[in-house]
């Protein structure tokens, strides 16, 4: 029986991790065209964002093109993780947008209009890992806190909570090319 429970635990863990690695289709709304760039808003499930993001941290002596975000304090990440782990407050940390940027010149070719190509129009984007990771412009504490809560839920074999966290739909804004 103990071996059976262990195998079940491994299978559930594997299934959750495999869901993170599937190709991502995002539904977008074109919001702006500025500085010769298109900007979109949409939603993304946290399971699709985990392992597919990068936070460009500022390091003294380096230019802002290398990193511009201040280091996140662990106590803030832990506090967000606690709120996300509580089913009563699981989505409260995500009341505001997470701002992402995808710095891939080829990605624009995978954004397909579903109607007219203008501000307010609907698009579908098939994200592939080959495009690189999403750069978090704003929301790094919330994303890393939710990811911590997700990982702790898996470590504690609380797969129901891990599934709920991974399926939180997070609004995103500012998906544009470099």
Q: Which residue has better confidence, 18 or 27?
A: 27
What band does 178 get if pLDDT is binned at 50, 70 and 90?
Answer: very low
pLDDT in tens, 27-52: 898 888 888 888 888 888 898 899 89
pLDDT in tens, 124-142: 998 888 888 998 888 889 9
- The whole-number pLDDT of residue 2 equals 53
Q: Which residue has better confidence, 16 or 22?
A: 22
Distance set, CA 21 to CA 15, 16, 101 (Å): 10, 9, 19
**pLDDT-wise least confident of 19-23, 54-58, 112-116:** 19-23
């Amino acid at each position: 029986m103990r071996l059976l429970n262990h195998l079940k635990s491994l299978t559930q863990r594997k299934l959750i991790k495999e869901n993170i690695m599937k190709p991502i289709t995002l539904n977008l709304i074109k919001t702006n065209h500025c500085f010769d760039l298109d900007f979109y808003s949409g939603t993304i499930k946290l399971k699709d964002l985990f392992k597919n993001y990068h936070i460009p941290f500022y390091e003294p002596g380096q230019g802002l093109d290398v990193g511009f975000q201040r280091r996140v304090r662990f106590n803030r990440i832990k506090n967000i993780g606690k709120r996300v782990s509580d089913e009563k407050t699981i989505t409260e940390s995500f009341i505001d947008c997470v701002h992402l940027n995808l710095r891939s010149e080829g990605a624009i070719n995978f954004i397909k209009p579903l109607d007219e190509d203008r501000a307010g129009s609907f698009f579908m984007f098939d994200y592939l890992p080959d495009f690189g990771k999403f750069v978090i412009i704003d929301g790094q504490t919330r994303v890393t806190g939710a990811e911590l809560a997700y990982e702790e839920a898996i470590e504690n074999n609380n797969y129901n909570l891990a599934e709920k966290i991974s399926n939180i739909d997070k609004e995103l804004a500012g998906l544009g090319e470099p």
